[in-house]
């Protein structure tokens, strides 16, 4: 029979696939001899079987019974015993941390019969009734799917009746009455009584945790974080320890380093007389850990010792949950903690200095998405004074850094709706909960008036790289009236502009101006790492990027079409241009020349237009080749959908009809209309473009090749070096490439002979059609390089028109799990990736020295870069801004999978 249940003593931290992150780490702490309450873990295998079959797999209930009996023996108490009840928690725990996305139920085992026994044993009736009301509330929401607002309203009513603002002021009698109210809510909303049998409570809670894996918010979170949907969650059943046993008890969350900045020190939150969910829910503002030292120095000192043990053992920032039960410290969870992008770079750099990890391991601790976050703008508060309408109104906790500006919204639905309309929004709540996830994703930043750095809002925002300010107590947030009131009396209604600074915690009414981040200034070369103005983050980024450039096997180029873009790409570390799109050079006034060329009625007119275009193209290429200073430049010959350079058919038809109705001369427009009709295409993206255009419009590609060759000669004559790669687009058959190649070679030879210059030029093709990929062996005989155009290759492989389908049905495909992520964002490895692999292998078999690169924007996507490294490409190319991301990810790919 399959083993589904494991005691904490049977696991270790490397069993996350089987035991989930929480279970594996509870087992690891148990094996380290740390004070962990006894318990057992139900594996992810059981969850997957439950979700597949719709019921518990054979043998699970019996195994749970056996392990429960062993736990009862160890604790000397029985679950639900009326005189001395054992209480347990049932908590989710997936392989990857999903804070607040799945379910937890505490205090299982309490009932009308056992609550008095718990009060007697604990010597505290208030504690017993408080634990019972918490069980009914959590069980009602989690297991019975009752709207939590019903319980919150009952609690608020109880507090108002006593003139209280905090639930800690309610006594045992108040809480007993509240329990009756909660049971009535269960009866009314769920159509059943709250279960009094302890094993039934536990079994229902376990199944609810399994089912929470597929809740809408959990699936949304996994899509956002790119967590696979087929992992399932483990379930941890743990003996309860109580932080709500009076002022000498409490619960908290601690970090071994600051997850917001990466600095060493004591960081975390503590709540006296509370249970664990109170801290992360943000319903009460917390104390700092340093204040715990004054409340309970013995527990504080023990916590510091354990934090040191755990950081040394995991060799990383650790996130810890703990409870103090009447002076006894218990460890409820640890994991490698989520952190901001800045903290990730700083911690990785510092751990190398501390000789805890190697530079290769430091590269594994950061990623390209985090680096991109560090390149976002920041608020500029150093120069011009803020406008009259923009002023600082409050300060909260700097939970997740960044500068966010947007319109105030007070619920998740509005945040999503407005953002889809193009509005930037700031989601403002008293505290967030997992149901707010959609709005948090849509918002530029998150602001709460309650909660600390370990609240749900803070933890989720840090994980997503969102700006977040928490615990801004000065603000009165009224979500029903959809407004907030500042201490000064200023009211910001929904839709009003607000700015939040996640680095300082400052909150502003109005729009604060932004400036480039120091990391961008570093990449631009305006801020040296040794400069007095460079902070520790810039120095950490510099060190890690230096290690990355030493480690990576992939070269990184940029997609650039102008000298300015080329120069910026070099500053950002590009080692060449992988895609220079010549169609971008024919916009504006030149567009009419291309129109004349395409519509030319005879050879003389065509040659006249080409003669006008040649010097313009030559000057373009001189500027780009000069800016690149001898680095390779891949120039793609003209590849526009033809309609982009022709008048709009409808507009032209109207113009002709109006002229004829007025009796005006419209002969020129009429001839143009006839030509446009002749060339009109139903699907221009699959029509006369790329190599087809070069074959059908005589002289077009030849003019471009001549301009490239003459530009290279001019650069060489000026003392520079020009390394050119001429790329023929949209080739589907080797014969197409052979014709263009032979014509191009003739022009290159002619210019070489005429100028005497050493023109270094390769001729190759862009692989962007499935047929090209599948006949790569043939094409490689005529091509000196391949550059994979993964944008078009994705479109033609899937049969998608990107511009049409992304807005039409991609969201439905994501919701239904057909896509985990858009194939235009991250390469579809199974389909498009397979074509790339086949083309690379067969191309190199035919021509071993074939140079292979990628020039679609997938070249700057972190996940895709790893694939391109593994396939054996020579380089990736992406937009200049993403060049540093690609450099870093290329190094991380080399660490994970070194090339021979």
Q: What CA–CA distance (Å, rounded) separates 9 from 621?
A: 68
Q: What CA–CA distance (Å, rounded) separates 463 from 710?
A: 52
Neighbours of 696 (CB within 10 A): 11
Residue-wise DSSP of 211-248: HHTTSHHHHHHHHHHT--TTS-EEEEEEE---S-SSTT
Q: Are 366 and 544 in contact (CB under 8 A)?
A: yes
Going by C-alpha positions, the residue among 434, 437, 394, 432 that lies closest to residue 413 is 437
**The token pair that represents 100 in the structure block:** 């607040």
Q: At how many degrees (to 10) do helices 834-846 and 862-871 cross?
A: 30
**The token pair that represents 254 in the structure block:** 């601690």
641-664 burial, b at 16+ Cβ within 10 Å, e below that, comes to bbbebbbeeeebeebbeebeeeee
Q: Are 724 and 764 in contact (CB under 8 A)?
A: no
- CA-CA-CA-CA dihedral for 885, 890, 893, 897, to nearest 10: 180
Going by C-alpha positions, the residue among 709, 741, 693 that lies closest to residue 583 is 693
- CA geometry: angle at 662 spanning 657 and 666, to 5°? 55
- Report which DSSP code applies to 10: G
First to last CA, the chain: 44
Q: In this structure, are strands 378-379 and 104-108 parallel, antiparallel, or unpaired? A: unpaired
Cα 263 to chain centroid, rounded: 24
Strand partners, 321: 253, 333
Going by C-alpha positions, the residue among 73, 65, 160, 78 that lies closest to residue 111 is 78
Q: Are 747 and 741 in contact (CB under 8 A)?
A: no
Residue-wise DSSP of 69-88: HHHHHHHT-EET-SSSEE-E
- CA geometry: angle at 389 spanning 383 and 394, to 5°? 80
Residues assigned a catalytic role? 456, 855
**Residue 208 CB partners (closer than 8 Å, separation 6+):** 103, 105, 142, 143
Q: What CA–CA distance (Å, rounded) separates 724 from 744?
A: 13
Going by C-alpha positions, the residue among 268, 291, 289 that lies closest to residue 280 is 268
With residue 322 as reference, give the H or E element that holds it.
strand 318-325
Q: What CA–CA distance (Å, rounded) separates 884 from 893?
A: 14
Walk across the sheet containing 483-485 and list its strands.
476-478, 483-485, 491-493
Q: Are 726 and 761 in contact (CB under 8 A)?
A: yes
Walk across the sheet containing 88-94 and list its strands.
5-7, 39-42, 233-239, 88-94, 104-108
Q: What CA–CA distance (Å, rounded) separates 423 from 417?
A: 9
Phi/psi region, residue 573 (left: phi>0; alpha: psi -120 to 50; beta: rest), is: left
Residue-wise DSSP of 634-687: EEEPP---GGGGS--HHHHHHHHHHHHHTT---HHHHHHHHHHHHH--SSGGGS
**Residue 759 CB partners (closer than 8 Å, separation 6+):** 709, 712, 713, 716, 722, 724, 748, 751, 752
């Amino acid at each position: 029979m399959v083993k589904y249940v494991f005691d904490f003593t049977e696991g270790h931290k490397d069993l996350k696939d089987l035991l989930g992150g929480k279970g594996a780490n509870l087992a690891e702490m148990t094996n380290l001899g740390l004070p962990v309450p006894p318990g057992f873990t139900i594996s992810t295998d059981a969850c997957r079987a439950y979700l597949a079959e719709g019921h518990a797999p054979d043998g699970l209930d019996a195994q749970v019974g056996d392990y429960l009996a062993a736990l009862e023996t160890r604790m000397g108490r029985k679950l639900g015993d009326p005189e001395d009840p054992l209480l347990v928690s049932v908590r989710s725990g997936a392989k990857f941390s999903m804070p607040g996305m799945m379910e937890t139920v505490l205090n299982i085992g309490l009932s009308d019969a056992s609550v008095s026994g718990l009060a007697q044993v604990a010597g505290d009736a208030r504690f017993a009734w408080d634990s019972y009301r918490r069980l009914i509330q959590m069980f009602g929401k989690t297991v019975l799917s009752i709207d939590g607002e019903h319980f919150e309203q009952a609690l608020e009513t109880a507090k108002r009746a006593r003139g209280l603002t905090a639930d800690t002021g309610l006594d045992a009698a108040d809480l007993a009455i509240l329990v009756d109210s909660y049971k009535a809510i269960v009866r009314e909303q769920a159509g059943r009584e709250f279960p009094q049998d302890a094993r039934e409570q536990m079994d229902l809670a376990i199944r609810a945790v399994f089912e929470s894996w597929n809740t809408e918010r959990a699936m949304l979170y996994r899509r956002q974080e790119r967590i696979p949907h087929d992992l399932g969650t483990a379930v941890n059943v743990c003996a309860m320890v109580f932080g709500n046993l009076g002022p000498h008890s409490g619960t908290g969350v601690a970090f071994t380093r600051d997850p917001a900045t990466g600095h060493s020190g004591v960081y975390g939150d503590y709540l006296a007389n509370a249970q664990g969910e109170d801290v992360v829910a943000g319903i009460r503002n917390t104390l700092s850990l340093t204040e715990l030292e004054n409340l309970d120095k013995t527990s504080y000192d023990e916590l510091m010792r354990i934090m040191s043990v755990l950081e040394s053992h995991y060799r990383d920032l650790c996130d810890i949950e703990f409870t103090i039960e009447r002076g006894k410290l218990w460890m409820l969870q640890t994991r490698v903690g989520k952190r901001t992008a800045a903290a990730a770079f700083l911690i990785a750099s510092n751990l190398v200095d501390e000789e805890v990890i190697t530079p290769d391991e430091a590269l594994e601790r950061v990623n390209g998405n985090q680096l991109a976050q560090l390149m976002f703008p920041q608020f500029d508060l150093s120069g011009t004074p803020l406008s009259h309408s923009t002023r600082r109104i409050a300060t909260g906790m700097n939970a997740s850094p960044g500068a966010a500006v947007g319109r105030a919204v007070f619920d998740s639905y509005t945040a999503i709706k407005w953002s889809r309309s193009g509005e930037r929004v700031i989601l403002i709540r008293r505290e967030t909960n997992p149901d707010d996830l959609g709005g948090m994703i849509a918002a530029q930043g998150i602001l709460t008036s309650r909660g600390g750095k370990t609240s749900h809002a803070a933890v989720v925002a840090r994980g997503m790289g969102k700006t977040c300010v928490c615990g801004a107590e000065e603000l009165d947030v009224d979500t029903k009236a959809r407004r907030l009131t500042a201490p000064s009396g200023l009211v910001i209604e929904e839709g009003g502009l607000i700015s939040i600074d996640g680095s300082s915690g400052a909150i502003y009414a109005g729009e604060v101006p932004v400036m480039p981040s120091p990391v961008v200034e570093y990449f631009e070369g305006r801020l040296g790492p040794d400069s007095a103005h460079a902070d520790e983050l810039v120095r950490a980024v510099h060190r890690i990027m230096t290690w990355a450039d030493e480690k990576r096997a992939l070269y990184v180029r940029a997609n650039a079409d102008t000298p300015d873009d080329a120069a910026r790409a070099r500053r950002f570390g590009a080692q060449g241009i992988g895609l220079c799109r010549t169609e971008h050079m024919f916009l504006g006034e030149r567009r009419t020349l291309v129109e004349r060329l395409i519509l030319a009625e005879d050879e003389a007119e065509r040659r006249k237009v080409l003669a006008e275009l040649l010097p313009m193209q030559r000057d373009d290429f001189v500027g780009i080749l000069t800016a690149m200073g001898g680095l390779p430049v891949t120039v793609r010959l003209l590849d526009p959908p033809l309609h982009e350079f022709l008048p709009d058919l409808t507009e032209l038809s109207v113009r002709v009809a109006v002229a004829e109705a007025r009796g005006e001369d419209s002969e020129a427009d009429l001839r143009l209309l006839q030509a446009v009709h002749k060339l009109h295409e139903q699907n221009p993206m699959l029509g006369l473009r790329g190599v087809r255009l070069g074959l059908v419009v005589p002289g077009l590609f030849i003019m471009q090749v001549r301009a490239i060759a003459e530009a290279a000669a001019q650069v060489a004559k000026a003392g520079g070096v020009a390394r050119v790669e001429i790329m023929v687009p949209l080739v589907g058959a080797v014969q197409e490439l052979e014709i263009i190649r032979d014509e191009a070679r003739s022009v290159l030879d002619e210019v070489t002979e005429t100028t005497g210059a050493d023109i270094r030029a390769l001729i190759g093709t862009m692989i962007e059609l499935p047929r090209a990929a599948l006949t790569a062996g043939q094409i490689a005989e005529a091509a000196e390089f391949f550059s994979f155009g993964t944008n078009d290759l994705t479109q033609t492989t899937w049969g998608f028109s990107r511009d049409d389908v992304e807005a039409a049905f991609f969201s439905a495909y994501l919701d239904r799990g057909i896509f985990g992520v858009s194939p235009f964002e991250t390469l579809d490895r199974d389909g498009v990736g397979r074509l790339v692999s086949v083309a690379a292998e067969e191309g190199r078999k035919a021509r071993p020295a074939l140079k292979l690169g990628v020039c679609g924007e997938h070249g700057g996507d972190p996940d895709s870069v790893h694939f391109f490294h593994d396939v054996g490409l020579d380089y990736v190319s992406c937009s200049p801004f993403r060049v540093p991301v690609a450099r870093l990810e290329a190094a991380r790919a080399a660490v994970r999978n070194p090339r021979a």
